[in-house]
Amino acid sequence: GAVVSQHPSWVICKSGTSVKIECRSLDFQATTMFWYRQFPKQSLMLMATSNEGSKATYEQGVEKDKFLINHASLTLSTLTVTSAHPEDSSFYICSARPSGGNTGELFFGEGSRLTVL
Amino acid sequence: RKEVEQDPGPFNVPEGATVAFNCTYSNSASQSFFWYRQDCRKEPKLLMSVYSSGNEDGRFTAQLNRASQYISLLIRDSKLSDSATYLCAVRGLGFNKFYFGSGTKLNVKP
């Protein structure tokens, strides 16, 4: 299946710092990528849809100035958690669907576990 | 109301048992349906798509009931390695947003 790579897998940072997470589609192009957040024992919550060459679309309740998304190329989207606080600690997962693909399924990155001290 | 709802479980079953999970969705215009498997502290991995006519892949059978707006997953002859959390996913109109259920945890015991 298609491969999506996410980096870093783990990150620990101090409160108030910013953290950047990268999501790459390794063997396909993706005009759209999705960023999810998952708290322990909870569902994946869609945060935003990342669109190549244009602004991301954020879900209701997600602060766009706190979670900066950049989708500069067809294979890379980045999520920056700005001024992170302990409540931002979570499992962040990106996903992508091949452009032009008709199966509709999503492929996920390995996830990034963020711990804010 | 949540887009997708699932019984969180856990379902504790012995090896060899048959177990079924259901998942309901709220948007009748939803286009596509999937079951994902998620192991502890890992990303979800696609288990199978769900087609209107129902589909089977080995020990796994998925079904869709559009009238009642639910999808199901049946696992026959459970193996220890089937222990995981099973997430249903629904793709919205416009081929874009995917919504996930909270997941159903399955524990298969010897």
User: Distance from B105 to chain A by nearest Cα, in Å?
Assistant: 9
Give the integer Cα–Cα distance in Å for B65 and B82.
Answer: 24
SS3 state at A86: helix
Identify the residue with better confidence: B62 or A104: B62
Name which residue leads in pLDDT, B92 or A101: B92
On whether any CB of chain A is under 8 Å from the CB of B34, the answer is yes
Q: Which residues contact B76 (CB under 8 A, 6 or more apart)?
A: B18, B59, B60, B61
- Residue B15 clears pLDDT 80, i.e. is over it: yes
B101 inside 8 A of chain A by CB: yes
Displacement of CA A43 from its chain's centroid (Å):
15
Cα A110 from chain centre: 11
Which of B34, B42, B96 shows the shortest C-beta gap to A32? B96
**Residues B53-81, mean pLDDT to the nearest whole number:** 95
Which pLDDT belongs to residue A67? 97
Residues of chain A above pLDDT 90, percent: 68
pLDDT band, very low/low/confident/very high, at B26 (cuts 50, 70, 90): very high
Range of weakest confidence among A1-5, A76-80, B20-24: A1-5
- Summarize the confidence of residues B18-42 as an average pLDDT: 92
Contact B43 A43 (CB under 8 A): no
Average pLDDT for B63-80? 96
Percentage of residues in chain B having pLDDT higher than 70: 95
Q: What are phi and psi of A35, to 5 degrees?
A: -115, 125
Q: In which band, very low, low, confident or very high, does the pLDDT at A101 lie, cut at 50, 70 and 90? A: low
| φ, ψ at B82 (rounded to 5°) | -80, -10
